Amino acid sequence: MLRRASGFTFAFYCLTEDSRQRLLQAKAPSAMAHQFATLLGPVLQGATPLVIPDLRADERAGLNPLVINGPHLRSFVGLPLVTASGDVLGMVCVADPRLRPVTQAQLASLRRLADEIALRVEMQMIAPQPAPHSEIGTQTLETTTSCGGTDTRHTVSAMLMQWRDTFSAKWPQTDEYIPKKVVTSIKSRHNLGKIEAIRRNVRETAGSRVPRDKGASRPEGERAVASRLSGAILRTIFVMALVAAPSALLPGVTKDAQQMAALVALFAGAMTFVEYNATYPGLIEFRHAPPFNRIRFALLAATVLVLCVIERGKVEPTALTQFLDAVGSLVGWSMDFPYSPVRLATMMLDNAATSEQIAVVRTAAGMAFLITMVTLIWFVLTMRTGSWPSRRAAFNVWVNLPTFDPTVGADIIRRLDRDARVNVALGFLLPFLIPAVVRIASSGLEPLALTAPQTLVWTVTIWAFLPASLFMRGIAMARVAQMIREKRQAAAIGASDGLLPA
């Protein structure tokens, strides 16, 4: 819960020496616990939050082993565990190897969790006797660290995260037996939580043949089906409207062209509805990782509509059409240098093309290039700020990458990095390859054919959209590979230091 609320990699509790002794027998602190205590220092007993944006730049923690060595912590946030009577029991902390800004909403969520943890610790202090024969829960433990020894840390973890203890009162009360049983119980509980999470994820994403309770789960299943159906219908309407927009907005479109556009719109709408209304993953990638596909659709829609407005302005000029035409001409002229994408786009025309026809293609290519760059910057900023993919939900590789099989071939991280580089390289080369292929295949398009409004809009849109889509796919796959790499590093660090993954 702490990691999910903050977005940080590590989450743990650190109790004061007095609180630890009141909760259970004190032991000599371990090396990791001593490092955490050194990092917190006197603020462990303070009643105010501690936010350190960069541990390397902080005088108190710059030389701490957790900062200069593994796990190389950079960002740190700690909130005090304060009881109703005002006593400070310790601090709940989150840390990350990367610089992560903390918002007020995240601080508020962490405060609520800190209050709940403080209440549970206080209840254990008041009534420390375990309830016999209680059931073991299946919720995954948070990363929990006490300022005591390793065995003490695991015991505190079990006490904090359960309302009832999981140990029988008949167990032998020895110093060696209890810690072993605590660690064994925590590992079993953690594995059960992972198994249950995997089962629930598979049932939600890929369906299940296991019979369910028809009384309680039926309304939830009906709501999920209704939500999927309404989303598919809405996306179908958007796609059909976009495909039919040029034939409706552009002047001089014949009836035959409008009917052909309507037929293509119906086909595209049917494909969209089938894809998004299906339970199983199909061909569209990142279906459950918004706003990836929404950004791609926004790029496609913006390019088509802006080019339609520019072409319509040649017959019915307005202030908006003149402004967009001027911006497209400015970008086109600035990008019209040898071997540039805009220069190669104009080379698709035949050698007999007039200067006016070349200027029309140059303006359209310049505006499409500008929209593409703005969209790519938008996507990169969305990813950098942590909004994609969302850390509040699990990322399912099977569902979001249906054409990528993570179980075949080499290591998944290596394959994702390789595919990411291939997609970025193709995205860079495609604006140069498309005009060359068209030139070689048709020896140049007829100037009047390419500069016809509807043909010009769709040709330039495809010329700009396909490379941008490959760029986004490559960046997204590299981000997924980085997420898996961080998960493995966190698990390795937690295993080497005796911590449980949050």
Superfamily of domain 2-208: GAF domain (3.30.450.40)
CA angle 68, 73, 77 (to 5 degrees): 135
Mean pLDDT score, 228-247: 93
Better-predicted residue by pLDDT, 113 or 322? 322
Q: Dihedral, CA atoms, 404, 10, 143, 22, nearest 10 degrees?
A: -170
Residue 173's pLDDT is what? 44
Q: What per-residue confidence (pLDDT) applies to 213?
A: 43
- Average model confidence (pLDDT) for the chain? 75
pLDDT in tens, 267-298: 999 999 998 888 776 788 888 888 899 999 99
Give whole-number Cα distances, 253 to 49, 146, 269, in Å: 65, 73, 22
Q: What is the pLDDT of residues 154-178, one digit of tens each?
A: 443 444 344 333 333 444 444 444 4
Q: What is the C-alpha end-to-end distance of the chain, expressed in Å? A: 8
**Residue 215 confidence (pLDDT) above 50:** no
pLDDT of 463 higher than 60? yes
- Is the per-residue pLDDT at 137 higher than 80? no
Tell whether the model's pLDDT for residue 434 goes beyond 70: yes
pLDDT of residue 19: 67
Rounded CA separation 438/442 (Å): 6
Least confident among 149-153, 216-220, 224-228, 378-382: 149-153
Domain locations along the chain: 2-208, 211-279, 284-493
pLDDT of residue 148: 38
- Banded model confidence at residue 372, pLDDT cuts 50, 70, 90: very high
Rounded CA gap, 450 and 256, in Å? 18
> 113 is written with which tokens?
């969790």
Sheet of 75-82, strand order: 10-15, 88-96, 75-82, 50-52
Report pLDDT for 280: 73
435 contact partners, CB below 8 Å, separation of at least 6: 344, 345, 347, 348, 463
CA dist., res. 153 & res. 142, Å (int): 12
Classified as helix, coil or strand, 252 is coil
Q: Region 359-377: what's the mean pLDDT? A: 94
- pLDDT confidence tier of residue 20, bands split at 50, 70 and 90: low
pLDDT in tens, 55-102: 888 777 767 777 777 777 888 888 888 877 777 878 888 888 888 888
Reported confidence tier of residue 25, pLDDT bands at 50, 70, 90 = very low
CA distance 385 to 258: 43
Q: At what angle do helices 150-160 and 104-126 cross, to 10 degrees?
A: 100
Integer angstrom CA distances of residue 208 from 44, 203, 204, 212, 216? 48, 5, 8, 9, 16
Bridge partners, residue 93, by sequence = 12, 78
Q: State the pLDDT confidence band at 17, using cuts at 50, 70 and 90.
A: low
Do residues 323 and 309 lie in contact, with contact meaning Cβ atoms separated by under 8 Å?
no
Cβ neighbours of residue 297 closer than 8 Å, sequence gap 6 or more: 238, 242
| SS3 at position 50 | strand
Burial of 57 (0-12, 13-18, 19+ CB in 10 A): exposed
Q: For residue 40, what pLDDT is reported? A: 62
Residue given tokens 């929990």 in the structure block: 144
| pTM given for the model | 0.57
| Interatomic CA distance for residues 483 and 420, integer angstroms | 14
